[in-house]
């Protein structure tokens, strides 16, 4: 676990250095038209975000299946599919905590991502969707508050409710049987 934490910290630092080395794109009083050169900069920025999120997610989720970003006029939406790393019995609250921390870390570097969708898959062989966890709107801007509030509760020995960070949780019969 400590080795994984070191990898995550190293990846986060690499992402920060990459983000800091990018030129400032403040455009002041420029017109609202987008030139071909600006479109190229935008697509390079989107590629940087996708590549960075893919690398971070691969290091964070041991059984990552897929990562993609949809880009619309409303903004960017991150989609992640993974099989949770659990012992003999899955605990939803631990899965929620894992997902909330991932979304919080990604959002701290890339505020352009305004919505997060996580498909929690089950069974290493069939990889059926067991849960869909969605974070959007105000929940995205409140991620760190909810996460650290719940960590305080956890450290004090109280029950946690990391599920409060989600806008929507869709469960299947499989996940309803989990603790």
pTM of the model: 0.74
Task: Please state the domain count of the chain.
Answer: 1
Of 113, 122, 178, 123, which Cα lies nearest the Cα of 143?
113
Residue 144: pLDDT band by 50, 70, 90 thresholds? very high
The residue range of the domain holding 104 is 2-176
How far is it, in rounded angstroms, from Cα 82 to Cα 58? 10
Give the 3-state secondary structure of residue 114: strand
Residue 126: pLDDT band by 50, 70, 90 thresholds? confident
- pLDDT digits over 39-95, tens only? 445 588 888 888 999 999 999 999 899 999 988 888 899 999 999 887 556 688 899
How far is it, in rounded angstroms, from Cα 107 to Cα 47? 16
pLDDT at 169 over 80: yes
């Amino acid at each position: 676990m400590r080795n994984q934490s070191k990898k995550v910290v190293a990846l986060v630092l690499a992402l920060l250095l990459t983000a800091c080395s990018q030129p400032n794109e403040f455009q002041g009083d420029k017109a609202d038209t987008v030139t071909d050169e600006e479109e190229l900069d935008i697509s390079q920025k989107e590629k940087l975000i996708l590549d960075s999120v893919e690398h971070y997610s691969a290091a964070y989720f041991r059984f990552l299946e897929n990562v993609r970003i949809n880009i619309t006029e409303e903004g960017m939406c991150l989609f992640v599919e993974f099989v949770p790393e659990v012992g003999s019995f899955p605990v939803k609250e631990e899965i929620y905590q894992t997902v909330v921390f991932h979304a919080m870390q990604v959002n701290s570097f890339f505020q352009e991502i305004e919505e997060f969708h996580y498909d929690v898959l089950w069974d290493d062989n069939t990889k059926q969707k067991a849960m869909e966890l969605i974070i959007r709107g105000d929940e995205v801007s409140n991620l760190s508050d909810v996460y650290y509030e719940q960590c305080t509760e956890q450290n004090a020995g109280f029950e946690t409710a990391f599920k409060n960070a989600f806008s929507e949780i869709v469960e299947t019969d499989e996940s309803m049987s989990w603790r």
